[in-house]
Amino acid sequence: MKIIVLGADGYLGFPLSLHLLSKGHEVVGVDNLSRRRRVREVGSHSATPISDPFIRCAALREEFPGFQWRFMDLRDPVEVDYIFEKHRPDAVVHLGELPSAPYSMMDIEHCNETQVNNIVSTNNILFAMRKHVSDCHLLKLGTMGEYGTPNIDIPEGSFEVEYRGRKDKLLFPRQPGSWYHLSKVHDTQNIIFACKIWGLRSTDIMQGVVHGIVTEDMERSCDCVGKDVDSRLITRFDFDEVWGTALNRFCAQAIIGHEITPYGKGGQTRGYIALRDSIQCMTIALENPPEEGEYRTFNQFDECYSVNELAEHVVKVAGEQGIEAKIWNIENPRVEAEEHYYNPDSEELRKLGFKPTHMLDEELEITIGYLRQFKDRIEEKRDRIMPTVKWSA
């Protein structure tokens, strides 16, 4: 297949591109490098010293000479139209959105920037698909955070409703918890509409929190004697308050001897999936596209954990590597339920063959083990881990 990966310089986009190339697909990577700029904006950096985009691209081309790279801003409808016209892809993976809740909560400018960036980029893609490749499969990254934490089970996308004696199949109501999460809900509604009126096909991934740094492709591609991973092919690992997930922050904190800091009571429960398994899922979705006009939703995660459980797992795995870590529950900067029911479905990807390979502890062992060599880089940004962006008035 010919696949465009939007956001190909990102945490998921780069290893996904590598994986698709290694499976023999033709890949066009697109990015405007804005993630790099935005992490600098908040005074931080990736714990892993990811390569310059030129070096990354050259490293991929050594093994996959057909790999193409385009520097482009997805907010520009003319540019987006052009790549669809030029490349006429079989599928497009849209990872090119602003993915941070705290970034969107900083102020009105960051709220608007996040929502406009995400909505406009997705709309531009939908219109370009309609015009040039109406058969193309849009694989779009949403988030499990679209659902929030309702007091009932969470189906995959939509559900059968019985109300006052009548029935219909409707979108499951969303309760997003930040301006960023809201933007993903807006995308969801926009994509549903485009599939309905134009017959486009799309898979909307409600993804859990992804963790891990290393994938087999980075090892397999290695040409450096005595090392397991080609350092040019590693992906980013953000750990600051704005761009790092809770689990990433906990790993970073353990490594530099900082207390591990769950927000609030720590009962906030979410779905989690290892990076390599996320890539496995996206590849399965690409190789099993939906029908014409079909909009389908996959809840893409492996296991559920509360934030306190995450902290305990990090303490345990770090301890096994001789790192002593302590937990300190701090005031929650977010407005969210800290104790709640949580029971989301995740059957659809398993039906298509998804088999999780790395559970939390196993992946954490690799992540912490790999990350320890970058202790100095984490230490350098130690003051960017504790939360300053607040949700409340």
Where in the sequence numbering do the catalytic residues fall?
143, 180, 184
What's the closest the beta carbon of residue 326 comes to its own copies, in angstroms? 31
Q: Are strands 295-300 and 209-211 parallel, antiparallel or unpaired?
A: unpaired
What gap in Å lies between CA 315 and CA 370, rounded to an integer? 16
Find residue 168's DSSP bridge partners: 161
How many other C-beta atoms are found inside a 10 Å radius of the C-beta of residue 388? 12
What gap in Å lies between CA 91 and CA 27, rounded to an integer? 10
What gap in Å lies between CA 11 and CA 297, rounded to an integer? 22
What's the closest the beta carbon of residue 124 comes to its own copies, in angstroms? 6
Q: Is 193 helix (H, G, I), strand (E, B) or coil?
A: helix
Q: Are strands 158-163 and 295-300 parallel, antiparallel or unpaired?
A: unpaired
Specify the residue, 242 or 254, whose C-beta has the smaller distance to its own copies.
242
**Can you give the binding site for its own copies, defined by CB under 8 A?**
77, 81, 107-109, 111-112, 115-116, 119-120, 123-124, 127, 130, 134, 150-153, 159, 161-164, 166-168, 170-179, 182, 185-186, 189-190, 193, 196-199, 335, 341, 391-393
Question: Burial of 287 by CB count in 10 Å (0-12 exposed, 13-18 middle, 19+ buried)?
Answer: middle
Specify the residue, 162 or 376, whose C-beta has the smaller distance to its own copies.
162
What's the closest the beta carbon of residue 149 comes to its own copies, in angstroms? 10
Specify the residue, 199 or 356, whose C-beta has the smaller distance to its own copies.
199
List the strands of the sheet with 209-211, edge to edge: 209-211, 269-274, 303-306
Specify the residue, 15 or 89, whose C-beta has the smaller distance to its own copies.
89
CB 39 within 8 A of CB 243: yes
Specify the residue, 85 or 383, whose C-beta has the smaller distance to its own copies.
85
What's the closest the beta carbon of residue 193 comes to its own copies, in angstroms? 6
Find residue 71's DSSP bridge partners: 31
Question: Burial of 322 by CB count in 10 Å (0-12 exposed, 13-18 middle, 19+ buried)?
Answer: exposed
Specify the residue, 189 or 357, whose C-beta has the smaller distance to its own copies.
189
What's the closest the beta carbon of residue 182 comes to its own copies, in angstroms? 5
Specify the residue, 171 or 327, whose C-beta has the smaller distance to its own copies.
171
Q: Are strands 166-171 and 158-163 parallel, antiparallel or unpaired?
A: antiparallel
What's the closest the beta carbon of residue 6 comes to its own copies, in angstroms? 16
Specify the residue, 13 or 177, whose C-beta has the smaller distance to its own copies.
177
Residue 156 amino acid letter = E
CB 215 within 8 A of CB 283: no
Sign of torsion over alpha carbons 367, 372, 377, 378: positive
What's the closest the beta carbon of residue 125 comes to its own copies, in angstroms? 10
What's the closest the beta carbon of residue 232 comes to its own copies, in angstroms? 37
What gap in Å lies between CA 14 and CA 35, rounded to an integer? 13
Could you write out the DSSP letters of every residue in 49-64? -PPPHHHHHHHHHHH-
What gap in Å lies between CA 21 and CA 92, rounded to an integer? 14
CB 113 within 8 A of CB 303: no
Among 149, 224, 147, 223, CA closest to 181: 147
